Amino acid sequence: MAMQTTLDTFTTVKQYYNSNVNTITISTQIQALEAPVTPSIESVAVKTIEKLAPADYTLPDISFYEDYSRLQSSRIYSAEQSEPCRLPDIAFKIEGNPNELLWKAVTCSHPGAYDREYILDTYKTLGQTVKIEGDRRLADMTRRREANFAQFFTLKEIVRFITAALGLDKSKKKALVVDNSCGIGGMFRYLSPSCLKTGIELEDQAYHMAARLWPDAHIIQDSLINHPTIQGDYFLINPPFSMQLVQKNIPLENASWGDLGPNSSIQSHIAALEIAIKNASKYVAAVLPMGYFTNENTYTFEKWVNEHAELVLRVDMPAEVWKDAGTAWPCSIVIYRTKFHHYNRKSAFVNTITKLGDLDVVLDEWKRTQHYNEALEDLNLIDNAFQQHARPQTGKTLQITVAEPDLPLPDSGCVGVKVALAPDSSSLVIRSSNLLEALKVRQYLDGMGQQWNDGLKAYTQESDVRFRRKHILNNSGFIPNMISDLRAANMDASLDPQVTTWIMKRKRWLERQLTPFEQYIGKDGEWICLNEHNGIRSTYPELYKAREKRLKALGIDWLWDFQKDDVIRMSLKNTNLLCWSMGLGKTRGIVSLAFLYGTKHNLIIVEPKLKEEFIKEFRELNITDYQVIESEKDLKQLKKFNLIAYNKLWKPLNEHTKKTFAKAMRRRFQFIAVDEAHKIKAKDSEQAKAVRMLKARYKLLSTGTPIANYPRNIFSLLVFGWGDGTELNSYGYYNPIEQTSDRGYTSGYTTGTRQFKEDFISIEWVTPQFEQTLDKGMKSREMPKIKDTAKWWAMMSPKIIRRQREEPEVAAFVTIPKPEISTELIKMSPEQVKHYKHWLDEFAAWFKEQLRLEKQSDGHKIDQMVVLAHLTQLQFASTIPQSKKTNNEHIQWPGGITTKQQRTLDLIEEALSKQEKIIVFSERPDFQKLMQQELKTRGIKSHVFIGSQGIKNRNVVLNDFKNNGTHVLLATTTCGETGLNIPQSNVVIIADTSWTPSKQIQAYSRILRPQQTRKPRIYLLRSKGTIDEYMQQLMDAKSEAIDEGIDYQDATEFDPAKWLSYRDFTIKMLKEEGYDMD
């Protein structure tokens, strides 16, 4: 590695330096030089390249890609021999130089008489020799880089490996090899003699040494950012790491804002790699810091590289490998192929070494790969007749301004202020040229005032809201008015041209994101398509057809027509909420969408018990490029598809760090699919916080039940998918939003959670904690009813893509027998009535005392959690009175089984007589264990499927139930409610009642699959006169709210006065059981 340098194209030059104007005058009418040279320098039109915001990126149309092997070189060469060149004079002192003996050897000897290999091995770099005063190691890293130009040359073992990996060590082809930060030319040492070498170096001593060591090469002294269009077949580079290059109008796409304005700053290794990727006709080999693959700051550039080149090799090296070179920094050897088919990427060859000697073993493994064979084929395509050095141009004199390599200085000549985009494009910023202007800007921002935030009970600065992207896109007159106001305040204000371009593109993108999806709904026995003429398919027909064509080109033939339509429609947006009914193939939808997006690394977050289901699907689709992330090591070699369990996501990488998997993967993936997304509904749960930490361009939330209980259950999903208070999602946890009344008036600001509550939630009162989280804190009389359904559907229609089994487009491909669902009210035996009534009496006495205290003291509130605990005890008494939870010194179960348990056994025996398989669900593991004992006494084999068994054991049990002779599965609702496909069974018994309707629906839907061949029968067992009946009433009301929220169904007329909180529910239940609660 050496000081950053660069070259444009190829010519012969003689340089005349004018120290006053700091320019190079290049004359093409000069006398013959003494040594052959390779390149020429052509004029470069320097132009600011405006970077698009990430959201404006459109997927490449692969239909336009051709077979690059048939293309001829676009470079024109002269067949005549180039003229010899005289070696440049040395202007620095040799005496006292750390490499004094080497300089004397090369200056006093005839070219070629010295030992080049010895000089390459023993030359001392600036990184090894330059010291700074008072070095504080890590704290002075920037100072050291300024002094030594981050100059550390590549170890010869690494150079030998790179050269051999590309076949350049023994080839007879005249491959044009470029190193745009060549140092003394170490990257050339193992090239075959036939290769044509071009190097660029800025640091004076390294440049002069390279010119003498490689007289047959063309070495130019300049900064690499001055030559962004240099051409070559291969680039072999080891650029300086992390040096900030600053110069006005850097003509590179990945240049960013700096002290000199737009496109004025870029890191050295990013600049070198971008130039190499854009100009290499075949391969780029580079040594890069390992942080390039893990640092969040380089995520955008890594994505750019992956869009322009295919990574074929990566070898990670620990810091110890570089000790002999005078540094210690973990690095990676990477090789990119620059001409490739986007739709036919292959997995990269990835390895890790602990010592340099391992490179020989790695090289042997590499030579057995298809990538290596393709590299040799590409090399053999070079036509030596076209690989001649160019002749110098004549009749022209060019002037090029040389950028100073020193530390950037502020442009003191700049005046005024500029309105520009923030680095993350989330807001506008006003950039000042000096302190006085900055004070004026601060005064202007403060002058915008502040408004009361009713949610935070504090004031919110107007400037914090108005400068955000959401406000800018929704208020087209804001920017002109702001510029006018700044000028009225005696500031020379201007608008960055990038802002206008960005707004235009962002608005077009936003319009597409907010276009509703088409959706079928059932009305009066008919199926109606909503948004048929203004939906995403009809609004963007050409884009839809292009994606359809791409899907076909990818060879994806495993989708039904309705699945294909949904995947194409989802690909037109960045984030989607996939709500297919159970059994419609969501796994294949997720996989197909990842292929259609064209993303390299995809993350799928699943429940631990469902990992095997996804792996099974991958195998059926012949997808081999996948892995399950189990350890930190797996993050170093990401696959096309990467599975991780929810409970792994928030855990530390290892026992020596607190850094979690979520944080380590924060920006590693371009597409993230969250399976069973309702699992992240609680704001402060570990898995929800871990998921929200992840960032990706594309997101998919997949769940058949986005609303588990109440409309607010969807809030956390909206924040993860569409942002916190953004133009795509008005609601959020943190960003202030305008407070809107029921009549549509706006006044002041509030929090997103509070406004969501006001818009959609029917509730009597809440605590501040609940108002800020929507899932914690106390509340009273929350009703399962969407307050404003029109506003709800307007919010959800661009986000949710819904399919039901009964709709025509689905029924044409998926035939699932309609289940027969029956609810049985079972009368309890006298023994159970007595047992149940004991616990009911105890609860009634406690609750009546709580009511008395509530009347006597205004501050006394009945704790809902305690109420719920008592109600849970009643559930035990109704379903499994044999449990220890309902037996103590005051009451003991007399023995035997209950009438509900007997009915369960009768239904099992009835199904077995028909050779049917049965699943029994209960929320009480004690019930399942008791049933297993009873079945055993009857000679019936059964399996228990409960949480305490662990995932591996449960998978063994489930496999035996599906494929072998066991016909009875006794499962807890929690373990069997999601993700499992069990069409081998057609009978489900649900022995108790849940507070959540989705749990019950998810449980019995395990058997409702396209593979089902028998008539499904579902039995809902309820104990008459117990808590079971009351809970069923609550579930019915909640189910209507769910249907209303995602299927556009009209709920029955809702009477808020009849809706019950836990408190009201308890009073009603106890009164109807004959207790005096007044």
Q: How confident is the model at residue 1057 (pLDDT cuts 50, 70, 90)?
A: very low
Tell which residue, 34, 41, 32, has the closest CA to residue 8: 41
Q: Considering the domain boundaries, does residue 1016 fall inside one? A: yes
Residue 903 in any domain: the answer is yes
Q: Is residue 874 part of a domain?
A: no
0.85 surpassed by pTM: no
223-235 pLDDT, tens per residue? 888 888 888 999 9
Torsion, CA 750, CA 754, CA 756, CA 761, rounded to 10: -150
Comparing 1063 with 391, which gets the higher pLDDT?
1063
- Is there a contact between 7 and 203 (Cβ–Cβ < 8 Å)? no
| Radius of gyration for the alpha carbons in the chain, expressed in angstroms and rounded | 36
Q: Per DSSP, what are the bridge partners of residue 671?
A: 602, 698
Q: How many CA atoms lie within 13 A of 173 on its CB side?
A: 19
Q: Based on the fold, state whether residues 544 and 454 are members of the same structural domain.
A: no
Task: Name the one residue in this structure whose structure tokens are 């290499």.
Answer: 280
* Together in a domain, 395 and 427: no
- Which of these three, 482, 512, 542, is where a domain ends? 512
pLDDT at 664: 92
Q: Three-class SS of residue 479?
A: helix
Query: For residues 1000 and 950, is the Cβ–Cβ distance under 8 A?
Result: no
Q: Which residue pairs from 552-556 have beta carbons closer than 8 angstroms and sit at least 24 positions apart in sequence?
A: 553/62, 553/63, 553/343, 554/343, 554/595, 554/596, 556/592, 556/595, 556/596
Characterize 787-813 residue by residue with b for buried, 16 or more Cβ atoms within 10 angstroms of its Cβ, and e for exposed: bebeebbebbbbbbbbbbbebebbeee
C-alpha–C-alpha distance, residues 759 and 739, integer Å = 11
Cβ count within 10 A of residue 849: 10
- Number of domains observed in the structure of the chain: 4
Average model confidence (pLDDT) for the chain? 78
Instruction: Render pLDDT for 502-517 as a digit per residue (tens, 0 to 9).
Output: 899 999 999 999 999 9
Burial 32-60 (b: 16+ CB within 10 A, else e): ebebbbbbbbeeeeeebeebebebeeebe
The lowest-confidence range among 206-215, 387-396, 533-542, 730-739 is: 387-396
pLDDT of residue 599: 93
Mean pLDDT across the stretch 281-291? 88
Q: pLDDT tier at 375 (50, 70, 90 boundaries)?
A: very high
Length of the chain: 1078
pLDDT of residue 642: 95
pLDDT top residue among 497 and 782: 497
Tell me the CATH number at 980.
3.40.50.300
Pair 448, 374 in one domain:
no
| Contacting residues for 376 by C-beta, under 8 A, at least 6 apart | 167
| Torsion sign (Cα): 203, 209, 215, 217 | negative
What pLDDT does 142 receive? 53
Q: How far apart are CA 662 and CA 691, in angstroms?
A: 7
Tell me if 408 is assigned to some domain.
no
Question: What CA–CA distance (Å, rounded) separates 246 from 249?
Answer: 9
| Rounded alpha-carbon distances, angstroms, from residue 76 to 72, 195, 389 | 11, 18, 10
Question: Bridge-partner residues for 401, per DSSP?
Answer: 23
Residue 209 sits in the same domain as residue 248? yes
Cα torsion 870, 876, 882, 885: sign: negative
Verify that 476 and 356 share a domain, yes or no: no
HSE-CB at 529 with a 13 A cutoff on CA atoms is: 12
* Boundaries of domain holding 389: 15-48+79-401
User: What pLDDT does 311 receive?
Assistant: 92
Q: Is residue 314 part of a domain?
A: yes
Both 39 and 137 in one domain: the answer is yes
Domain CATH for 579: 3.40.50.10810
In a domain? residue 949: yes
Lowest mean pLDDT among 148-157, 307-316, 658-667, 673-682: 148-157
Residue 123: half-sphere exposure toward Cβ, Cα within 13 Å: 31
Using CA atoms, how far apart are residues 852 and 157, in angstroms rounded to an integer?
85
CATH number of the domain residue 397 falls in: 3.40.50.150
Q: What are phi and psi of 147, to 5 degrees?
A: -80, -40
How far is Cα 567 from Cα 962, in angstroms, rounded to an integer? Answer: 31
pLDDT confidence of 675, banded at 50, 70, 90? very high
CA distance 131 to 751: 54
Give domain status of residue 84, yes or no.
yes
pLDDT digits (tens, 9 = 90+) for 922-968: 988 899 999 999 999 999 999 988 888 877 788 888 888 888 878 99
Q: Is the pLDDT higher at 495 or at 127?
A: 495
Percent of the chain with pLDDT over 70: 77
Could you tell me which of 953, 937, 945 has the C-alpha nearest to residue 901? 937
Express each pLDDT in 184-195 by its tens digit: 889 999 999 999
What's the half-sphere exposure (Cβ side, CA atoms, 13 Å) at 109? Answer: 14
Are 452 and 328 members of one domain? no
Domain end call among 512, 538, 561: 512
Q: What percent of the chain has pLDDT over 90?
A: 27
Residues 347-361: what's their mean pLDDT? 88
Of 68-72, 572-576, 647-651, where does the model show the most confidence?
572-576
548, 559: one domain: yes
pLDDT of residue 1065: 61
DSSP 417-443: EEEEE-TTSSBEEEEESSHHHHHHHHH
Mark which of 751, 783, 811 sits at the end of a domain.
811
573 in the same domain as 449: no
Question: Is 872 among the domain residues?
Answer: no
Check pLDDT > 90 for residue 807: no
Same-domain status, 583 and 500: no
Residues 447 and 503 occupy one common structural domain = yes
**Predicted pLDDT of residue 101:** 83
Residues 34 and 151 in one domain: yes
User: Nearest CA to 572 among 60, 59, 63?
Assistant: 59
Given 3-state DSSP classes, what are the helix, strand and coil percentages for the chain, each rounded to the nearest 5? 40, 20, 40
Mean pLDDT value of segment 294-303: 70
Residue 1070 pLDDT level (bands cut at 50, 70, 90):
low
The model's pLDDT over 1020-1051, given as tens digits with 9 standing for 90+, comes to 998 887 888 777 777 776 666 555 555 555 54
Q: 563-585 in b/e burial notation, b at 16+ Cβ within 10 A?
A: bbbbbbbbbbbbbbbbbbbbbbb
CA distance 713 to 774: 8
How many CA atoms lie within 13 Å of 8's alpha carbon, on the beta-carbon side?
Answer: 14
